[in-house]
Chain A
Amino acid sequence: MKINKKKYWKQNLKYLAILLSIWFLVSFLCGIIFADYLNQFMLGGFPLGFWFANQGAIYFFVILIFIYVFLMNRLDKKYKVDEV
């Protein structure tokens, strides 16, 4: 049981690391640091860097949370720690 809990927690941390890297990428990198560079590309009528800062990052945030929910629900079931 103890080992299982450790494995569950490790897997959780792995998910967090991946999802939070994307969180950082779409907002701080694409929306701020590289925004000027990305502005030379267009997404429809949007300069890309501007789109990330004013629209895109928010869409990614919402999707990230729902992916996290999906992954964790699956993980809870796998390790039989899901609530009844």
Chain B
Amino acid sequence: MDTQAWTYILVGGTFFLYIIIAIFSRASSTNEFYVAGGGVHPILNGMATAADWMSAASFLSMAGLIAFMGYSGGQYLMGWTGGYVLLALLLAPYLRKFGKYTIPDFIGERYYSKNARLVALICVLFVSFTYVVGQMKGVGVAFARFLDVPFDTGVLIGIGIVFFYAVLGGMKGITYTQVAQFCVLIFAFTVPAIFISLQMTGNPIPQFGFGSKTNEGVYLLEKLNQLTLDLGFDKYTSVNKDNMVNMFFITAALMFGTAGLPHVIVRFFTVPKVKDARVSAGWALLFIAILYTSAPAVAAFARINIISTFSNTPIENLPSWFKKWENTGLLSVDDKNEDGVVQYVASEELNELSIDRDIIVLANPEIANLPPWVIGLVVAGGLAAALSTAAGLLLVISTSISHDLLKNYLKPDITEKGELWAARISIAVAVIASGIAGMNPPGFVAQVVALAFGLAASSFFPAIILGIFDKRMNREGAISGMIIGILFTTAYIIFFTPKLGGIGTPEGFWFGISPEGIGTLGMLFNFITAILVSRMTDSPPIKIQELIENIRIPRN
């Protein structure tokens, strides 16, 4: 069987599985719809959280990015995992004890203010919506490239599947499909990694193969350092000292942003006990770490393979997969000096190979000559990653509308049944809206995602932490902190992002911090403002102080 047939079988098979699971896990109450009845086993919740968290970007783009960044790629690896330590230690157990459905619930009650709830609600909607559009785009790309379906039809198929299980099952349906999607995506990511690790180093575990010797008897990383150095690049493992402050800030912004992302936090409302919320974060990170520790190995293997495939190879001898990817425009060779041989070097004038980072994971099985079913598997894995993240985000959007906006703001007397219907209708609308936006994505999706992390770090994270750990924190402090954090971060990102209409240039960066990392500074401003303002205004009411005492202790 060829690649195409395998891809159809594996994608079709996994989609069928998701639908079967959805039918068996319908939601019948708002509690089931919002938080899966609060009865999800911590290990299963860990898997669902991992699938929720690992998006099309983690699965498809990250290894490719790292392959060309080397050491500096660590900012994504540490940034997108370290946030779970913060979640487990500082947020999850207390929010579980608090025991409601959403972040705006917590902010609204803890700061005894409808306006605080509204500010949080607007941020949740913005963060989640920008994120979900990127996922829908990923679904469309995967379909278009591998199943010969037009991009828009691909997005439509994706919407159809998510629509079915999200509207029917709410959080319950989403949770159990995410468990299945985690299994698909982790299998799809590790199988090619194991094959390639075996080929290059004889060690089947990519995390160890990465630090072993190649068949030629030198350490793989030493070989890669030599190759990159010879071609005029920086050594693969060497530290870029001019970028240290920026890397520090980006890593921190990604960590604090992760810990503040609504679709991740809400997962810890679905387990039965405080104890489960703690351990569930551990399982989630363990499952995420399987992919995140394989990715840098895949990156290093791919970089070596690319150099040995292209560097100084006569153009007529390039492998057949090159032609296929050349047609997509994502990979090209331009024989500038007309010697009929590819020069792949650091110098821009002499370099003749251009390669899009996003194709590394997808092309990797072909680059390494793996059997066709592996390629089909990778496509199914990429789709699982995109769909699971999209579903989690869509649920957050619908909960915000039906629960935070409708039930708690506009129409508090709505019945349980009415609220459930409102939740279903709003998730249906959200699915369709995000699909339409995914078909016409603004060209700056990537930049907007940086904004999503920056906002999560600079708005929710301090408000929640202070809400738990600072009994003196009051409404005035929290709201002014959030507003300062959001305004500063948004203004900085827009000013320094030309695609968003900004006029700033990298020379103007404060302390060399790029927009990706500015959320960290926004967060610090939020903390400082909140503490100063709260100390100059009245203490929160006694009732609120008792609420804080209560969430700090698992049982009383």
Interface residues of A, dominant DSSP:
helix
**Is B237 among interface residues, defined by CB-CB distance under 8 A?**
yes
**Is B285 among interface residues, defined by CB-CB distance under 8 A?**
yes
**Is B417 among interface residues, defined by CB-CB distance under 8 A?**
no
**Is B219 among interface residues, defined by CB-CB distance under 8 A?**
yes
A81–B97 alpha-carbon span in the complex (Å): 12
- Are A64 and B85 CB-contacts (below 8 A) given A33-B248, A44-B212, A73-B275? yes
Task: Determine whether the beta carbon of A59 is less than 8 Å from that of B71.
Answer: no
Q: Which of B76-84, B306-314, B320-328 contacts A (4 or more CB under 8 A)?
A: B76-84
**Is B281 among interface residues, defined by CB-CB distance under 8 A?**
yes
Task: Determine whether the beta carbon of B89 is less than 8 Å from that of A33.
Answer: no
Residues of B close to A66: CB separation below 8 A = 279, 282
Residues of B close to A33: CB separation below 8 A = 244, 248
Task: Determine whether the beta carbon of A54 is less than 8 Å from that of B555.
Answer: no
Task: Determine whether the beta carbon of A55 is less than 8 Å from that of B71.
Answer: no
A55–B78 alpha-carbon span in the complex (Å): 8
Task: Determine whether the beta carbon of B213 is less than 8 Å from that of A57.
Answer: no
Task: Determine whether the beta carbon of B252 is less than 8 Å from that of A81.
Answer: no
Q: Which of A2-32 contact B (CB under 8 A)?
A: 5, 8-9, 12, 16, 19-20, 23, 27-28, 31-32
Task: Determine whether the beta carbon of A62 is less than 8 Å from that of B278.
Answer: no
Task: Determine whether the beta carbon of A45 is less than 8 Å from that of B275.
Answer: no
Interface residues of B, dominant DSSP:
helix
A5–B548 alpha-carbon span in the complex (Å): 12
Task: Determine whether the beta carbon of A45 is less than 8 Å from that of B220.
Answer: yes
Task: Determine whether the beta carbon of B89 is less than 8 Å from that of A19.
Answer: yes
Task: Determine whether the beta carbon of B239 is less than 8 Å from that of A35.
Answer: yes
- Kindly provide the distance from the CB of B467 to the nearest chain A CB, expressed in whole angstroms: 15
**Is B139 among interface residues, defined by CB-CB distance under 8 A?**
no
Beyond A23-B86, A52-B74, A65-B89, 7 additional pairs, beta carbon < 8 A: A27-B255, A31-B74, A31-B251, A32-B248, A54-B66, A83-B275, A84-B555
- Kindly provide the distance from the CB of B285 to the nearest chain A CB, expressed in whole angstroms: 5
**Is B222 among interface residues, defined by CB-CB distance under 8 A?**
yes
Q: Identify the closest chain B residue to A38 (Cβ).
A: B239
A53–B79 alpha-carbon span in the complex (Å): 10
Task: Determine whether the beta carbon of B88 is less than 8 Å from that of A53.
Answer: no
Task: Determine whether the beta carbon of B211 is less than 8 Å from that of A58.
Answer: no
Residues of B close to A73: CB separation below 8 A = 275
Q: Which of B116-124, B129-137, B288-296 contacts A (4 or more CB under 8 A)?
A: B288-296
Top 10 nearest A-B pairs (CB, nearest first) are: A53-B74, A45-B219, A65-B282, A45-B211, A50-B237, A36-B239, A54-B296, A44-B211, A65-B88, A46-B211
Task: Determine whether the beta carbon of B212 is less than 8 Å from that of A58.
Answer: no
**Is B286 among interface residues, defined by CB-CB distance under 8 A?**
yes
Task: Determine whether the beta carbon of B555 is less than 8 Å from that of A65.
Answer: no
Residues of B close to A39: CB separation below 8 A = 237-239
Interface size bucket, A side?
35 or more
Task: Determine whether the beta carbon of A81 is less than 8 Å from that of B211.
Answer: no
Task: Determine whether the beta carbon of A81 is less than 8 Å from that of B556.
Answer: yes
Q: Mark each residue of chain B from 79 to 105: 1 if its CB lies under 8 Å from any CB of chain A, else 0.
A: 001101110111001000000000000
A53–B90 alpha-carbon span in the complex (Å): 23
Task: Determine whether the beta carbon of B211 is less than 8 Å from that of A83.
Answer: no
Residues of A close to B296: CB separation below 8 A = 54-55
Task: Determine whether the beta carbon of B237 is less than 8 Å from that of A57.
Answer: no
- Are A27 and B286 CB-contacts (below 8 A) given A35-B71, A35-B239, A49-B239? no
Task: Determine whether the beta carbon of B244 is less than 8 Å from that of A82.
Answer: no
- Kindly provide the distance from the CB of A35 to the nearest chain B CB, expressed in whole angstroms: 5
Task: Determine whether the beta carbon of A32 is less than 8 Å from that of B275.
Answer: no
**Is B552 among interface residues, defined by CB-CB distance under 8 A?**
yes
Q: Mark each residue of chain B from 207 to 224: 1 if its CB lies under 8 Å from any CB of chain A, else 0.
A: 100111100000111100
Residue of A28, A55, A72 near B293 (CB, 8 A) is A55
- Kindly provide the distance from the CB of A40 to the nearest chain B CB, expressed in whole angstroms: 11
Q: Mark each residue of chain A from 63 to 84: 1 if its CB lies under 8 Å from any CB of chain B, else 0.
A: 0111011001100100001111
**Is B172 among interface residues, defined by CB-CB distance under 8 A?**
no
A35–B221 alpha-carbon span in the complex (Å): 16
